[in-house]
Structure 1
Amino acid sequence: MKSHASDRIKMPLGFWAGLRQLGVAAHNVARRARLPLTIVNEPIVTTAQYFAIWQAYSDLIGDTAKGIIQLATVFETAKYPPPVLATYHARDYRDALRRMARYKKLCPPESLSIKEEGEQCIIEMEWLHAEQPGPPILVGITLAFLVELGRRGTGQHVTAQSVEFMHAIGDVQVLEAYFGCPIRLEASKNRLTLHRRDLDQSFASYNEELQEILTPALDQWLDEHQRNHSITEMVKWIMKRSLTGGRPDIRSVAKELRMSARTLQRRLTDENTSFKNLLTQARHEQARAYLADPSLDIKEVAFLIGYEDQNSFYRAFRLWEGDTPTNWRNEYLGTTSLS
């Protein structure tokens, strides 16, 4: 079984800033995606939330093709996350693409496979840990970014040989003008085909010294990322993301982990815990985190961790901390203001 720790997706720091440059307000995206407004400040989201954010952006921008090109070109290189920054400072286009495919594992939910055949370089995109395919705009952004990477790195107007999409992608003529090649829809794969000769082009942005720093750090990060995380950790993480919708049950959590409820229960027992204990821990930890934010009132905190009424939350919190949520918050905020 693949580890579902990969379902944790880190939002690029420059994403919301890029939307602002296009005149798209972050809170409008959150509302359109039917997500809490606090999602804008969340560095980590689930695959479902990630897809919802991209679909909301597509809906607000109006035309998928226009949204793809605008965001791919407006995103500032300086705001690339480290795995992407390493590709921008690669030796040449080929090195950049290989690094992208390798380090993309640190930024799911999509994965890239690259193969060189004859005069072609074929890049195929697939989804990780997602029962449904991601929104077309995310596919388009991913493939457009690979071309944009070549253009920014080499300083040349790199074009594709062909681009194939599994689903409708907006104004095809707009995309053909951007990629510089024919666009095919209803394909069997989301695929970008480049001219192999372009892969030999050196990057003007190549920085050997920076690569010597980034590469070992990213390789270590990737190794740690790919190790199996404990079931306990994954279950608590899923619970924390599901508390607002009510009390998560073992069947729904097991389904997200691609296993039966019985198997999940057995594996939790092997780690000397239980679903009920983890739910209590998740609520307790989230309660402390929310109470540390003075902008949230107590009633809202109770709702955010799955309690229908404030009194039930008060009783639970007294068991956890031996004090009321209000007293705990006052003491916590008083302590942090002195530090």
Structure 2
Amino acid sequence: MKLSVSGQYFQFLKSIDVDLDQLPESLRYQEDYQKEEFALSTLDYFHLLTALDELLTDEQILEMSRLKNIQMMPPFFAALSSKNGLMAIKHFAKFKRITGPIIVDIETFDDLVRVSYRYDYTGLELPRFAVLNEQHLILDMIRTGTGEAIKPVRIGVPFEYGQEALESFGCHVEYTEGNEIIFNKADLERPFITANNIMLDYLEPQLKERLAEAISGESFTGVVQQMLYKAIPSGEFSVEDIAVALGISSRTLQRNLSAEGTKFNQELQNVQKLLALSYLKKPEMTTDEVAYLIGYAEVSSFSRAFKKWTGMTITEYKNSTDD
């Protein structure tokens, strides 16, 4: 999908003392953060999340996770206009992809509601920044809507949170393989003081239209990237394989990529690199397994490619993620 990120987003980052010059060069927009919006692909957005993960403190992340501090976008208005927290989360989950390629999953039980997050591309794990930001944002949305200091039952994350973050949640936080924020269903059924049926009826048609545009507005490069994410684990990811899957000729595929300033092999390596970086963070996965999963028959070839991509050996990278 193709995304538009408001220039105000970057201005807000500057206002909380984030050094935008520390963003990767590919994410520096001609040193012009005054533009109204910036177009990002799904992979660009992931690069942004991982870059911010390296730059932001918990204090800065929490500042970004308070509705009063951020630019209120239509999905937030729709959520706050809902009759209660449960409906707010459902509305927000439905339209979340307008604001970014993060999927919100909701599970409803007898007395509990579980909310979790995942990235739109399989194989890319949400960084700590994104999970903390999303979990606190949805909690602040519930607190704002009810006007009460609602506390979750439990939070699960595959990271450690600092003391300030722990205090902001006010509940038990435990280490888990995935991420989750669990609420008492009764808390989510409390009526919203911000409920506004007229506003919700007005917003929903616009949001559905914007959601359709976001999903269908992906660049051709983005479509090829998405196909590669699905195809690489299967081992069938040659330019011919991807062209067949898209129903076009290899020449047409290459021509369309060239028109967007890239090449198939370049995009293949970009996706392989991101998958490798994600897999290598998992201590239970061996280098042999990672090499196989991203399409390398020989570990030596994967090792050479990894050094070319990152400037580090695989061992050096693993050690750096353990620090």
Give CA-to-partner distance per residue, 1:179-212, whole Å, 9 cap, x none.
1101112x13200001211112222222222211
Partner of 2:113: 121
Identity, % of aligned positions? 16
Give unmatched runs, 5+ long, in structure 1: 1-5, 239-249, 285-339
Distance in structure 2 (CA, Å) of the matches to 1:97 and 1:282: 37
The partner residue of 2:16 within 17, 22, 44 is 22
Residues in 2 aligned to 1:50 and 1:116: alpha-carbon distance in whole angstroms: 30
Larger radius of gyration: 1
Deviation at residue 223 of structure 1 after TM alignment: 4.7
**Poorly superposed stretches of 4+, deviation over 4 Å:** 39-42, 223-227
The verdict on how the C-alpha distance between 1:120 and 1:13 changes in structure 2, with shifts beyond 3 A counting, is farther
Name the structure, 1 or 2, with higher relative contact order (CA <8 Å, separation 6+): 2
2:29 to 27, 38, 43: 38
State the TM-score, normalized to the length of structure 1: 0.64
Change (3 A) 1:189 1:235: same
Contact 1:101–1:111 (8 Å) recurs in 2: yes
Query: How many angstroms apart in 1 are the aligned matches of 2:125 and 2:169?
Result: 23
Task: Choose which of 36, 46, 60 in structure 2 pairs with 1:51.
Answer: 46
For the residue of structure 1 that corresponds to 2:50, the secondary structure is: helix
**1:51 is paired with a residue of what secondary structure?**
helix
The 8 Å contact of residues 140 and 169 in structure 1, kept in 2 or not, is answered as no
Q: Does the Cα contact within 8 Å between 1:13 and 1:81 map onto a contact in 2?
A: no
Give unmatched runs, 5+ long, in structure 2: 232-236, 263-323
Distance 1:276 1:54 in 2: 29
Q: How many residues align?
A: 253
Within the candidate set 263, 266, 275, 2:244 is matched to: 266
**Post-superposition offset of 1:262:** 0.9
Displacement of 1:283:
4.8
- Residues 122 and 236 of structure 1: is their aligned pair in 2 closer, same or farther, counting only changes over 3 Å? closer
Cα deviation, 1:99-154, whole Å, max 9, x if unaligned, reads 01111233443211212223211112222214221211101101111101011122
Matched, 1:179 2:164: no
Q: CA RMSD in A?
A: 3.1
Residue-by-residue CA offset, 1:209-261 (whole Å, 9 max, x unaligned)? 2211111222344355556x7xxx743557xxxxxxxxxxx9x8963574541
Deviations 1:70-113 (A, max 9, x none): 22127535x22222221122222111111011112334432112
- The TM-score normalised by the length of structure 2 is 0.67
**1:86 matched to 2:78:** yes
Q: Which one of 73, 76, 79 corresponds to residue 69 of structure 2?
A: 76
Tell me the residue number matched to 2:207.
218
Aligned residue for 1:10, secondary structure, equals strand
Correspondence for 1:156: 148
Structure 1: distance between partners of 2:22 and 2:196 = 36
**Residues 161 and 193 of structure 1 are in contact (CA less than 8 Å); yes or no, is this contact kept in structure 2?**
yes
